Amino acid sequence: MTRPREAARFVLAAAGFLLAGCDQEVPAPLRVASGDPGRGHRLVSASGCGACHVIPGVRGASSWVGPPLTEWARRGYVAGHLPNTPDNLVAWLRDPQAISPGSAMPSTGLTEAEARDAAAYLLTLGARRLPAVPAGMPLGPDSEGPRPEPRLRPRA
Ligand code: HEC
C-alpha cells in the first residue's frame, strides 16, 4: 500500500511549489533579508497586532484602532514618516515610539529577527498586485516612482 504515501508526497511537493511561488511574488526591493513570511504570519497572529489592525490572513485581526494593513506591500509610507522599505518597516515594528514619539502604537517588544519575520509577512500582502514600481520608491517629481493623485497636488 504505497498509495497514501505517494499522495502525501505529492501534496507536500505541491505545497512547497505553491509556497516557493508565493515568495517569488514579492519583488526584490520589498524582500526582507533573513525574514520568513511563514514565521512572520504565526508571530503576527500571536502578538496581538489584530487587537488594533485589520490584517488579511490573520484570524480575528479586524480592529480599526490603527490603520488597516491590507495590501501593505503597496503602501508608500510607514506611519506617514518613512518610505515603506523593508528596513524602515522593521525599524517601525521594533520601536514605533522612536520613529513617531507619542504614536498610539505601543512598543511591540519584538526582537530584530522577529520584526524581520513580521515585516516579511506584511510585505507579502498585496505584493501580487503591485504595479511595476513598488511602493516605497522615491516620490520626487523627477523619480520614476508612483505619483500623488492629481487631486492631491498643490495648485500651481
Ligand atoms: C494598541 C494598538 C496597536 C497594537 C497592539 C499594534 N499596533 Fe500597529 N499601529 C497602531 C496605530 C494607532 C498605528 C498608527 C500609528 C501612527 O501613524 O503613528 C499603527 C501603525 C502600524 C503600522 C504602520 C501603518 C501605516 O498605515 O503606516 C504597521 C505596519 C503596524 N502598526 C504593524 C503592527 C504590528 C505588526 C503589530 C503587532 C506586532 C502592531 N502593529 C500592533 C496601533 C497598534
The range of the structural domain enclosing residue 114 comes to 26-129
Residue 11 lies in a domain: no
Per-residue pLDDT of the chain (156 residues), as tens digits, is: 557 676 666 555 555 444 444 445 898 889 999 999 999 999 999 999 999 999 999 999 999 999 999 999 989 999 998 999 999 999 999 999 999 999 999 998 999 999 999 999 999 999 987 765 545 555 444 555 555 554 555 555
The C-alpha cell that represents 131 in the structure block: 504595479
Residue 105 lies in a domain: yes
Which CATH number goes with the domain that contains 103? 2.60.40.420
Residue 45 lies in a domain: yes
> Into how many domains does the chain fold?
1
**Whether pTM exceeds 0.85:** no
Residue 140 lies in a domain: no
> Which residues, judged by CB distance below 6 Å to any ligand atom, belong to the binding site of ligand 1?
44, 47-49, 51-53, 65-67, 69, 78-80, 93, 100, 103-106, 108, 118, 122
What is the residue-wise DSSP string for 61-86? -B--SS---TTGGG-SEETTTEE--H
Residue 61 lies in a domain: yes
